[in-house]
Structure 1
Amino acid sequence: MGIYEKGFERPSPIQEVSILIALTGRDILARAKNGTGKTVSFCIPVLEKLTKITTLFKVPLPSVIIVPTRELALQTSQVCKELGKHLKIQVMVTTGGTSLKDDIMRLYQPVHLLVGTPGRILDLTKKGVCVLKDCSVFVMDEADKLLSQEFQPSVEHLISFLPQNRQILMFLATFPVTVKDFKDRLLKNPYIINLMDELTLKGITQFCAFVEERQKIHCLNTLFSKMLQDHRNRAFHDFRNGACRNLVCTDLFTRGIDIQAVNVVINFDFPKNAETYLHRVGRSGRFGHLGLAVNLITYEDRLNLYRIEQELGTEIKQIQPHIDQAIYCQ
């Protein structure tokens, strides 16, 4: 019923493969590009497996989902709540920058699915409040970021608290050496899904505009110095709810954040590699939708522009005087 009420009519390619495999209990390492429906790919099997636990309220914490950013944690928990709204499942989100005391009090009540950032969950685990000895499903979204130098020690420490028969589901876009090393050491006969050749930039029209660097800086240098967390939360909330139409953000923010109304992405500073470019422009053209990417290109960016076009097998055309709205609005 939750799936029906979300309006999903058919699974995306990553959902079609991963949901069934995850339900068998096997470890998964799934690679797919942004906008292909990765979040639902693990939320559905996690919720479905929770419904099979007959002694649900006696199990301390059956499932955990970790993500690299606060915004992605909030988004993922909301998807879980919406898909599981007709189930007797308690979903909790916990991240840094919020009250630790409130989280501790919440964990004294039944929680069946915990969504959060690794540092905060590790803090709660080391305090003995978050009990992972019966956690049967451990999901890592944006796993390539979670296994970067910033997060990997916390992630591996967390996994040391899990039982031996746990199931680990990893979802990511890129496959750096750190991910391969982690897979070889900690995953048990994982099922490998690689859909990186699918839906690369489908539905996204890409343009570039050649400018001088000083022209770009003049546009934004008076707008931002430093945003406090509550200001950042408010800006994101207003953007999602349609109160404002434009959002300026960093690369970290763009990882996995799904806002259906986003159909235009402007790269103020052109990325240096194809991975970052995909994460950014993936905000538009989400699965089944159209989108537009506009890139501001300086003289120094010209080689990166050519290289990214070659690596992604795509064409970034010079911007036209008039852009037909039909290519990014439905």
Structure 2
Amino acid sequence: MGIYEKGFERPSPIQEESIPIALTGSDILARAKNGTGKTAAFCIPAIEKIDPNKNAIQVLILVPTRELALQTSQVCKELAKHLKIETMVTTGGTSLKDDIMRLYQPVHLLVGTPGRVLDLANKGVCKLKDCSMMVMDEADKLLSPEIQPLVERLLSFLPESRQVLLFSATFPVTVKQFKEKFLRKPYVINLMDELTLKGITQYYAFVEERQKVHCLNTLFSKLQINQSIIFCNSVNRVELLAKKITELGYSCFYIHAKMLQSHRNRVFHDFRNGACRNLVSSDLFTRGIDIQAVNVVINFDFPKNSETYLHRVGRSGRFGHLGLAVNLITYEDRFNLYRIEQELGTEIKPIPPQIDQAIYCR
């Protein structure tokens, strides 16, 4: 019922491959891109395996950022809407006392960031001895040098017979080592062959730094923007640009990592609910954030590497939607542009005078 009400009619490729395997109890190593339905690919089997009559944490979902934790727990709650399953989210930057109080009530599914979950486990408040499944989303980030030790310590709180599911868009060496050490005969799913930028038309505009704002203004007046995310390469530039856009008379929010967590949550929530058309963001916001209404992504500052480019531009055109990406390129960016095109095997074309709405508007 929950799946139906979320409007899912048929499984996406990653869901089709991972749900049946996850239900058999096997460990999984899945490589799939953002926007392909990854969250539901592990939430559905996780919910299916929970016994609501058993008052214990039975599934732990680890994610690298607070935003992603909130979004993932929201998906779990919606999918489990008609079941008596208690979902809790816990992340750094929020009151520890509230989390401790909440853990005295039943919790079946816990979504959180590693540092905070470990903190609660060490205090003996978060009991994981009956947690038979651990999911790691964006596993490449969770296995970065500073976070991996926390994840490994967390695993020691889980029963021997636990099931581990790893989902990631990229698989660096750390993931491979972790797999060999902690996963038992994992089932490997690799869906990275289809191009990530499917459905997204990419253009570049060759500009000087001082022409960028003017260029953005022209784009706003010419494009049919449902919602847009505009990326800058630094926190400082995010705030300055947001101010400029507001001065031009367009509604605009901004979000970056140096903001208070509560403020970030509010911006994310309001933007997602359509309170504002444009969001200026730093790279904090590129991973896994799924806002269906975004049909235009603008790289006000061109990213340095192809992975960042992929994550940014993958914000539009998510799972079957069409999208448009416009890159403002300065003289210094030209080598990066060429390199990113090569690495991603994609084409970024010069922007035409007129852009056909059919390519990015439903």
TM-score class normalised by the smaller sequence: over 0.9
Instruction: Give the structure 2 partner of residue 139 of structure 1.
Output: 135
**2:248 alignment counterpart:** none
Write the deviation string for residues 161-193 of structure 1: whole angstroms up to 9, x where unpaired: 111110010110001111111111111111111
CA distance in 1, matches of 2:262, 2:106: 28
Aligned to 1:289: 321
**Greater alpha carbon shift after TM alignment, 263-272 vs 106-115:** 263-272
Residue 248 of structure 1 aligns to a residue in which SS?
strand
Q: Is it true that 1:276 corresponds to 2:308 in the alignment?
A: yes
| CA distance, structure 1, for counterparts of residue 188 and residue 54 of structure 2 | 33
Give 1:174's match in structure 2, choosing from 153, 170, 174: 170
Cα-to-partner distance string for 1:211-232 (whole Å, 9 max, x where unaligned)? 2234448985363795322222
Alignment-derived partner of residue 319 in structure 1: 351
Contact 1:69 1:253 in 2 (8 A): no
CA distance in 1, matches of 2:259, 2:135: 30
Task: State how 1:1-330 maps to structure 2 within 5 Å.
Answer: 1-50=1-50, 53=51, 56-216=52-212, 220=237, 221=240, 223=243, 227-330=259-362
Amino acid at match of 1:19: I
Q: Could you tell me whether the CA contact under 8 Å between 1:57 and 1:110 is conserved in 2?
A: no
TM-score, normalisation: structure 2: 0.86
Counterpart contact for 1:36–1:199, Cα < 8 Å = no
4+ aligned runs moved over 6 Å, structure 1 = none
Unaligned runs of 5+ in 2: 217-236, 244-253
**Separation in 1 of the partners of 2:211 and 2:146?**
34
Higher relative contact order (CA 8 A, sep 6+): 1
TM-superposition CA deviations, 1:59-89 (whole Å, max 9, x none): 4211000111111111100100101001110
8 Å contact kept, 1:285–1:292 = yes
Tell me how far apart the structure 2 counterparts of residues 22 and 206 of structure 1 sit (CA, whole Å): 36
Distance 1:190 1:42 in 2: 15
Aligned-pair identity (%):
80
* Count of matched residue positions in the alignment of Structure 1 and Structure 2: 326
Point out the more displaced range, 220-229 or 17-26: 220-229
For the aligned residue pairs, the C-alpha RMSD in angstroms reads 1.7
Q: TM (normalized to structure 1)?
A: 0.94
After superposition, the Cα gap between the structure-2 partners of 1:5 and 1:199, relative to the gap in structure 1 and judged at 3 Å, is farther
Do the aligned residues in 2 keep the contact of 1:33 with 1:278 (CA within 8 Å)?
no
